[in-house]
Amino acid sequence: MSASVDGGYLDAAAALPLSSAAREALLAALEDGWADPSRLYGAARRARLLLEGAREAVADVLGARPDEVAFTGSGTQAAHLAVLGVLAGRSGTGAHVVHSAIEHSCVLAAVAHAAGEASAAPVDRLGRVDAASFGAALRRDTALACLISASHEVGTVQPVGAVAERCGRVPLLVDAAQSAGRAPIPTGWALLTASAHKWGGPPGVGVLAIRTGTRWRSPLPADEREGGRVPGAPGLPQILSAAVGLQAAAAEAASEDARLRPLVDRLRLGIAARVPDVEVVGDPDDRLPHLLTFSCLYVDGEALLTALDREGFAVGSGSSCTASTLEPSHVLVAMGVLTHGNVRLSLHRGTTESEVDRFLSVLPPLVARLRREAGAEAL
């Protein structure tokens, strides 16, 4: 992690600054990787070599073949192309989509945009989809199934393998944005998407992997770029940086997992012990290594975020008052848990034990003050 992360940044699930490996690669690539890789002269051949090297590196981490991997402009664009392209390629089968109730909004937006009909598979109180009920929602006209690898809001790992088995011939799209570079990539996917700025690569790079044999047709006017999957010249320097960043993240994923899990456990136990009337949500064990979500009864989420920001802590939230809509997070709604006063903490390579302890000492008086101000302290 570079020095540009201030202590108190606990929103790694939204974005990370460039890792030092990714930064070095970006600077080198700005010098060396500027030419258009589709041309036939020397500088272009060099660019093409670099691009294909990046593709191989990313494919290796994701468990894909290089020719299955395309680079996009973001994780969102990758998810949009995945959904729209399968619906275009499998229109003969139907236009029905099955997805978990806790997909990222970019997947839900693409489904709402292009699917004829959609079924949401429910999750339990811990935020885990049930493979049997997911399978029961599949129909003869189901063109696509979508399941996030692990919840981006509460961290609960999803039964991707068991769902993939039930999908049979229906291609399964797995949004692995929170897992890539941190946790094992599940198997059984037909399409996989990820986002570089969540693993310490630069913003502006997403990954779309499509298994050979999956029926997919470009929903956009296609050109020769990225195997006909993503039109327009790829951002080569950022892609090279993203690939190096992913390799670096994957190389230390196991040791970071071992370091971050106890810190998240410390937060989980500490928050529950020190703050009364808190609901810590998500699976306590089978979860992402770096993410913890809790809701504080009687507390306004926006007020809590603002107060934490004043103490130097950057955190996420699924409370309705912190979003652009009036609706609470669809993930918390699907789980049936408290939605107000919600905070999502996501840790990273730069997060230290003393930072965690400072959070644990700052949070209880803040929550107590906000409850007092709302006239809710003795309720």
Partner 1 sequence: MSEVLTVDCLGRPCPVPVIELARALPGVAVGEVVDVLSDDPAAALDIPAWCRMRRQEYVGATERVNGSAYRVRRLV
Sheet holding 278-281, edge to edge: 278-281, 291-296, 342-346
CB contact at 8 A, 148 and 175: yes
**Is residue 321 annotated as a catalytic residue, yes or no?**
yes
By beta-carbon proximity to partner 1, the closer residue of 37 and 341 is 341
By beta-carbon proximity to partner 1, the closer residue of 125 and 169 is 125
User: Smallest gap, in angstroms, from Cβ of residue 337 to partner 1?
Assistant: 6
User: Smallest gap, in angstroms, from Cβ of residue 344 to partner 1?
Assistant: 16
Choosing from 106, 146, 167, 321, which is the catalytic residue?
A: 321
Q: How far is CA 252 from the centre of its chain?
A: 18
User: Smallest gap, in angstroms, from Cβ of residue 313 to partner 1?
Assistant: 21
Q: Residue 185: which of 101, 255, 250, 257 has the closest Cα?
A: 250
User: Smallest gap, in angstroms, from Cβ of residue 198 to partner 1?
Assistant: 27
User: Smallest gap, in angstroms, from Cβ of residue 346 to partner 1?
Assistant: 22
By beta-carbon proximity to partner 1, the closer residue of 265 and 377 is 377
By beta-carbon proximity to partner 1, the closer residue of 213 and 375 is 375
By beta-carbon proximity to partner 1, the closer residue of 98 and 299 is 299
By beta-carbon proximity to partner 1, the closer residue of 76 and 295 is 295
User: Smallest gap, in angstroms, from Cβ of residue 228 to partner 1?
Assistant: 42
Residue 190 to residue 82: CA distance in whole angstroms: 10
Residue 356 to residue 95: CA distance in whole angstroms: 47
CB-count burial class (<10 Å; 0-12, 13-18, 19+) for 26: buried
Which residues here bind partner 1, judged by CB under 8 A? 277, 279, 295, 297-300, 319-321, 326-328, 332-333, 336-341, 374-376, 379
In this structure, what token pair is assigned to residue 334? 């699907």
Catalytically annotated residues: 321
